[in-house]
Amino acid sequence: MKNDRFNPSQAVVPRAQDAGPLQDSLGASEASIQSLLREGSSENTLAAYRSAIQYWAAWHQLRLGSPFLLPLPVNTVMQFIADHVEHVTNQGLAYDLPAEVDAALVAAKVKRKVGPFKLATVRHRLAVLSEAHETQDLPNPCRSRAVQTLLERVRSAYAKRGERPARKDALTKEPLEQLLATCDDSLIGLRDRALLLFAWASGGRRRSEVMRATMENTRRVPEGFLYTLGYSKTNQDGVERADSHKPVVGRAAAALEAWLTAAAITSGPLFRRVRRGGVIGEGLGAEAVRKIVQARAALAGLSGDYAAHSLRSGFVTEAGRQGLPLGETMAMTGHASVASVVSYHRAGAALSAKAGRLLERDSDINEAPVLDPAADSIGHD
């Protein structure tokens, strides 16, 4: 193809040429502005944004034969959706992306494998494109009635087919105990035990929040430790809040104390790399939480699909199982939206609900076996 020299690593969001008013009024260089934007975003957000823009650029060049320039017309966004989601045909489900373009995108390493995207991936790609337009104050095709209507129909079609978003299993108390049982008293075992308990027991911390935990923002108290969450996904301004302080007590506190003592950590990040010979290195990256969870799940012989978010969804699900009020649960997790946490909480509480046993006698209710809702796949936020 004529575009086989395309280099996705060079893809950036094309910007409006005239940035004069902003530069004239603020006297700020573009490099400074971009630096501030990067610093104010998490590494995961930046990586996801970069990946999405690279894909848009590659798809536009290979599919339409022209460079990716903003603003995009509405019909281009509509074509992108049709290329990446499945629709019903006489031969079954199909998508519009030509096979040769699909293969070229995989060869360019901007797509893992040929085939349609998951609906969640398409929505994320569109969200990034929308943000790119909004940031540059350009007409946003993603907000057009045509695109919004098509997305609504696509979501309904997928729902009618019984397709639900892929979700990680929740690490409720029982599977978490199995992970912890794989942690020995080596430095790595002490660290992993402390990390898992810290992340879970302090309210299901996000992996970025775990990595930002330091000796400076995690102080010892008579009950254990108190972790002050100065910045989070739902508090990006770092505003002091009553629920910014997360308790690390009981077993979680004991595990953290054992790790800090063994690793001789007195300042800086709590959780760090352990190099050969027991040398304590730099702080772990956010991706390390996922790897630790998955490695420990494999050692424990768990068959579910677990990742870093399993700690968060597991905490909320377990809170529902044990009857912890939703408000108290949210104060621990830091969720800003009830809608994003209530599904986990209700899933945990569902099998203990009296409403499900209205036909049974009281004695039957008392003797009924308690099932574990963690046997089902619980969601990803």
| Domain edges within the chain | 8-160, 173-375
Closest residue by Cα to residue 379 from 301, 313, 334, 330: 313
The pLDDT value given to residue 345 = 60
Q: Which residues pair with 89 in a beta bridge?
A: 92
Question: Which option is the CATH number for 8-160: 1.10.150.130, 1.10.10.10, 1.10.645.10, 3.40.50.10490?
Answer: 1.10.150.130
The pLDDT value given to residue 169 = 85
Closest residue by Cα to residue 345 from 320, 327, 323: 320
Of the pLDDT bands very low, low, confident and very high (cuts 50, 70, 90), residue 22 is very low
Model pTM score: 0.59
Say which residue, 293 or 135, is predicted with more confidence: 293
Distance, CA of 43 to CA of 50 (rounded, Å): 10
Closest residue by Cα to residue 347 from 362, 329, 364: 329
Radius of gyration of the chain (CA): 24
pLDDT at 3 over 50: no
pLDDT at 374 over 60: no
The pLDDT value given to residue 120 = 87
> pLDDT tens for residues 215-239?
999 999 999 999 998 755 554 555 5
The pLDDT value given to residue 6 = 36
> pLDDT tens for residues 72-81?
999 999 999 9
- CA angle at residue 324 from 296 to 363, to 5 degrees? 100
Structural class in CATH, domain 173-375: mainly alpha
The pLDDT value given to residue 82 = 95
User: What is the rounded average pLDDT of the residues 172-185?
Assistant: 95
Of the pLDDT bands very low, low, confident and very high (cuts 50, 70, 90), residue 58 is very high
The pLDDT value given to residue 61 = 94
Q: Give the mean pLDDT of the chain.
A: 80
Which phi and psi angles does 265 have, rounded to 5°?
-90, 125
The pLDDT value given to residue 44 = 64
